[in-house]
Amino acid sequence: MKRISLLALCAWLFGSVAAAQEVRIGNATANDTQAAANDKFAELITKYSNGRLKATAHHGSSLGNIQQMVRALQAGSVHGMIFPAGFLSPVVPELAMFDLPFLLPGAPAGITAFAAQSKAAQVMKDQAAQKGILIVAFHGIGPQSFLTNFPIRRLADLQGKKIRVIPSPPRIGAYQNWGAVARPMELGEVYTALQQGTIDGLENPPDVIYKMKLHEAAKYYTITQHFAFVSNLIVSKKWHDGLAPELKEAVDRAARDTIPWTDAAYTNSQTESLEGLKKAATVTTMPPAELQKMKDLALKGVWETLKADPVRGPLVKLLSEDLARFNKK
């Protein structure tokens, strides 16, 4: 009897070990809030699955660049990722519409709340699912303002200036409306470009600028919050579909519980970095009247242009409705 019990125990232990499935969470950054968010997601997957899923975040593009990791996620060999939604737009073009100027609130938790009630965001999720990507949730990273090598006191100061941007139609269109020159460029090239005068400035949240020490190359930070960064937490649809129901629930619960953690983490990061910038650079706020000029030009310009676009128009109209509904709360 004892021998049978021992064999049964060994079989149970072996089965438990064999049942543990490796889960790979891919990430392009390292030692920042995004990396910490991916770590948290991995930690919660392992915890909520009682170890049946053993999740680990792989940082610093160790699994490939973002586009390579997205393809691997579609195939099911990378299982999850958290990163700015705009970088998924080559696969899901609709996501670029989050880049419309003055669409999103600046605070990370506010961005998260906007996306949670957005009907346009649901359309984006549906489009992504058709391409093998489950967007479990969107969350906020923070507001984007100007870091420049010249002071900005009014909108006219931007005339003819070269500003580094992410290459998305709403951003490029907005800069045309404002009389500036949009210069798409990899973030890793920005420091040198600022030093050499190839660009006159860029837009980004405080934590990106401060932690990458970009304020060493350009000393003026002007708070405008004209754009904001939204991030997406995604998992492989192929992998998720193949999970047992209780493991699907564990992954979904881990994703849900990661979101408020990221809101708090990014809020702290943005606040601390802005305080750091105030000590190391000249930080000012765009006068309200000049900021309103920026908004009016964008609403009459790039917003209307994209509304008239036969492909993007329906989504832009949905986002307009989302914005009106959110602002009434």
Residue range 166-183, pLDDT digits in tens: 888 999 999 999 999 999
Across residues 239-261, what is the average pLDDT? 97
Are 156 and 180 in contact by the 8 Å Cβ rule? The answer is no
Whole-number average pLDDT of the chain: 93
Q: Does 3 have pLDDT greater than 70?
A: no
How far apart are alpha carbons 309 and 329 in whole angstroms? 29
pTM of the predicted model, to two decimals? 0.89
**38: three-class secondary structure by DSSP:** helix
51 vs 86, residue with greater confidence:
51
Q: What pLDDT, on a 0 to 100 scale, did the predictor assign at position 188?
A: 85
Helix pair angle (313-328, 119-129), 10° resolution? 140
- 137-168 tens-digit pLDDT: 999 999 999 999 999 999 999 999 999 998 88
Q: What pLDDT, on a 0 to 100 scale, did the predictor assign at position 93?
A: 93
Q: Does 1 have pLDDT greater than 60?
A: no
Q: What pLDDT, on a 0 to 100 scale, did the predictor assign at position 20?
A: 83
Residue indicated by tokens 């020490």 = 213
pLDDT band at 5; cut points 50, 70, 90 = low
- What sign does the dihedral 16-17-18-19 (CA atoms) show? positive
How far apart are alpha carbons 211 and 300 in whole angstroms? 35
Q: Does 14 have pLDDT greater than 90?
A: no
**Over pLDDT 70: what percentage of the chain?**
94
Q: What pLDDT, on a 0 to 100 scale, did the predictor assign at position 73?
A: 98
- The DSSP result for 242-310, as a single string, is TS-HHHHHHHHHHHHHHHHHHHHHHHHHHHHHHHHHHHHSEEEE--HHHHHHHHHHHIIIIIHHHHT-T
pLDDT band at 9; cut points 50, 70, 90 = low
- 293-315 tens-digit pLDDT: 999 999 999 999 999 999 999 99
**4: three-class secondary structure by DSSP:** helix
Q: What pLDDT, on a 0 to 100 scale, did the predictor assign at position 11?
A: 45
Vertex 311 angle, CA 306 and 317, to 5°: 50
- 54-76 tens-digit pLDDT: 999 999 999 999 999 999 999 99
Across residues 312-324, what is the average pLDDT? 96
CA distances from 119 to 62, 170, 324 (A): 35, 19, 12
Q: What pLDDT, on a 0 to 100 scale, did the predictor assign at position 238?
A: 98
End-to-end CA distance of the chain: 68
As its CATH architecture, domain 18-328 has: 3-Layer(aba) Sandwich (3.40)
Are 259 and 196 in contact by the 8 Å Cβ rule? The answer is no
Q: What pLDDT, on a 0 to 100 scale, did the predictor assign at position 65?
A: 92
- 182-228 tens-digit pLDDT: 999 888 899 999 999 999 999 999 999 999 999 999 999 999 999 99
**Over pLDDT 90: what percentage of the chain?**
89
CA distances from 269 to 123, 220, 262 (A): 30, 20, 10
